């Protein structure tokens, strides 16, 4: 039973997949094209077809795009898999970021706030209380040294207040960061 649970898409695993400039370039190409083949998308993202295919399969595995085989070709569509929790919200947030002309680095800046399950746990706890690091360590079950490392990453990504003595959740003023935070709080 645990093996099945571990294979289900989770926010932190999805964010790890998205924290990649080539994958974001493929999503940009897909947003512009609508539906397109691996070769067309790879060309637009300036990638060899084999690498483009690997990246597209990774995005598809997280439910962010839909693959349709037609003969010996595979066509991808920027439609989230409805059976994957949170995929539609993340894809909508990404489309919003791409439409707002955010760079890959700007998108990755916010995505990497949620590339570890512990950071999602920390954000969830800080959503209901503000406290000192020691109290948060007890409430989350994360060791203080590990907690402080994750807090630093969240602070650098504008998700936690810079005051180390009183930790509070911050709402990013960026729509993409805000959408990701909302998705993390639903987990």
Return d(Cα 5, Cα 172) in angstroms, integer. 31
**So what's the pLDDT on residue 3?**
38
**So what's the pLDDT on residue 86?**
85
Return d(Cα 73, Cα 159) in angstroms, integer. 42
Q: How many residues does the chain have?
A: 187
pTM, 2 dp: 0.88
pLDDT in tens, the chain (187 residues): 333 333 345 899 999 999 999 999 999 999 999 999 999 999 999 999 999 999 999 999 999 999 999 999 999 999 999 988 889 999 999 999 999 999 999 999 999 999 999 999 999 999 999 999 999 999 999 999 999 999 999 999 999 999 889 999 999 988 899 999 998 998 7
The closest alpha carbon to 89, from 78, 76, 80, belongs to 80
**So what's the pLDDT on residue 9?**
57
């Amino acid at each position: 039973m645990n093996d099945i649970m571990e294979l289900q898409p989770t926010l932190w695993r999805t964010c790890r997949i998205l924290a990649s400039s080539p994958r974001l370039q493929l999503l940009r190409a897909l947003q512009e094209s609508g539906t397109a083949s691996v070769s067309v998308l790879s060309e637009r993202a300036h990638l060899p077809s084999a690498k483009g295919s690997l990246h597209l399969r990774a995005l598809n595995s997280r439910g962010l795009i839909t693959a349709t085989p037609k003969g010996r070709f595979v066509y991808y569509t920027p439609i989230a898999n409805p059976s994957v929790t949170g995929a539609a919200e993340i894809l909508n947030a990404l489309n919003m970021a791409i439409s707002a002309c955010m760079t890959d680095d700007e998108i990755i800046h916010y995505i990497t706030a949620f590339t570890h399950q512990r950071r999602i746990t920390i954000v969830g706890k800080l959503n209901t209380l503000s406290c000192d690091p020691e109290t948060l360590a007890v409430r989350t079950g994360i060791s203080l040294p590990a907690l402080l490392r994750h807090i630093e990453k969240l602070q650098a990504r504008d998700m936690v207040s810079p005051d180390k003595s009183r930790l509070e959740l911050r709402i990013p003023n960026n729509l993409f960061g805000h959408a990701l935070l909302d998705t993390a709080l639903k987990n």
